[in-house]
């Protein structure tokens, strides 16, 4: 029995064959699926799915890359949505510096003619740096607000972190005695995983552990304590081998578990039992 702890079932990718997706998951031994909100509207859709399907649960939140368009107040609607008994955590929330304004500017410059006035280039860089600061500030504020909401409601959090490791840890560290977080789609080093675990948080692994170039993540999954991680798909993204490049779906949780079990030298039943218990304790399905 496995739990896909991070899916995006409300995405249009699943609209055409949703019932078949759930059936295939069940046949693969994936008995529960947690669908994750990325905006207020996405969170509403997640709850609607959880209300309709007894093996689906909802996590509600606003993704960091939605900070600019999220509006002045996302906490009031999230607090209202959290009253649903189908909501089991807040998220995904966190920090994402992968596409900062300055990075996008650098990409544009590569596509432009090289001979550009230095003064203009410098002015653009200064402006991009200002936008970077504003963008990071909005993400940090949104992250902290959702952490505050989770602590208020007695819920744990699903954390998204990309190219923002130090800032993410700095923000979540003061909350470590108030709630637990899971760093989903973990792709860092074993040392970084230990930093997370030492704060009493968890990590979670996706189909990346099956990739040829996923050896470093596979090594981390093989060495973290068995009771301190979970498995997920992050579907429709990151389909594991042999489905890489195609749509990912919750049934593929089995392939993630198989890969980690093989790397650890244990049978998949042992891994499934441990990760399921960890997920049940983290999400507290029957709160």
pLDDT, tens only, 188-242: 999 999 999 999 999 999 999 999 999 999 999 999 999 999 999 999 999 999 9
pLDDT, tens only, 255-284: 999 999 999 999 999 999 999 999 999 999
Cα within 13 Å of Cα(144), Cβ side? 11
Would you call 185 helix, strand, or coil by DSSP? coil
Query: Which alpha helices (DSSP H) does the chain contain, by range?
Result: 18-27, 40-52, 75-81, 101-111, 118-153, 165-172, 190-198, 215-223, 253-264, 268-283
Output the pTM of the full model: 0.91
- Residues 32/3, Cβ–Cβ less than 8 Å: yes
Confidence of residue 70 (pLDDT cuts 50, 70, 90): confident
**Which pair of structure tokens corresponds to residue 124?**
């653009």
**Tell me, what DSSP letter sits at residue 226?**
T
Mean pLDDT, rounded, for 95-116: 66
pLDDT at res. 36: 98
> Could you tell me which residues are beta bridge partners of residue 3?
32
> Could you tell me which residues are beta bridge partners of residue 59?
36, 89
Q: Give which of 238, 273, 274 is closest to 255, Cα–Cα.
A: 238
Neighbours of 44 (CB within 10 A): 16
Weakest-pLDDT range from 70-79, 102-111, 139-148, 215-224? 102-111
Please identify, in words, the CATH class of the domain defined by 2-283. alpha beta
Instruction: Give me the residue spans of the domains in the chain.
Output: 2-283
């Amino acid at each position: 029995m496995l739990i896909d702890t991070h899916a995006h079932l409300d995405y249009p990718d699943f609209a055409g064959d949703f019932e078949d997706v759930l059936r295939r998951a069940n046949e693969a031994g994936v008995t529960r699926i947690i669908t994750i909100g990325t905006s207020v509207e996405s969170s509403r859709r997640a709850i609607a799915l959880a209300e309709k399907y007894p093996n689906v649960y909802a996590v509600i939140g606003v993704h960091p890359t939605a900070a600019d368009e999220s509006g002045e107040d996302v906490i009031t609607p999230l607090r209202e949505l959290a009253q649903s008994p189908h909501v089991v955590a807040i998220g995904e929330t966190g920090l994402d510096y992968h596409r900062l304004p300055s990075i996008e500017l650098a990409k544009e410059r590569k596509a432009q003619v090289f001979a550009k006035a230095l003064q203009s280039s410098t002015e653009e860089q200064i402006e991009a740096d200002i936008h970077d600061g504003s963008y990071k500030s909005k993400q940090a504020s949104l992250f902290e607000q959702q952490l505050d909401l989770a602590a208020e409601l007695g819920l744990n959090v699903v954390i998204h972190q990309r190219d923002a490791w130090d800032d993410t840890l700095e923000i979540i560290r003061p909350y470590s005695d108030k709630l637990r977080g899971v760093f989903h789609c973990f792709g860092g080093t074993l040392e970084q995983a230990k930093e997370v675990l030492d704060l009493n948080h968890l990590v979670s692994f996706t189909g990346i552990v099956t990739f040829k170039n996923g050896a470093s993540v596979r090594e981390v999954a093989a060495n973290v304590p068995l009771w301190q991680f979970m498995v997920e798909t992050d579907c429709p993204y990151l389909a594991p081998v042999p489905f890489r490049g195609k749509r990912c779906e919750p049934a593929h949780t089995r392939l993630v578990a198989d890969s980690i079990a093989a790397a650890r030298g244990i049978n998949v039943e042992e891994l499934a039992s441990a990760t399921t218990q960890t997920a049940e304790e983290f999400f507290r399905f029957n709160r």
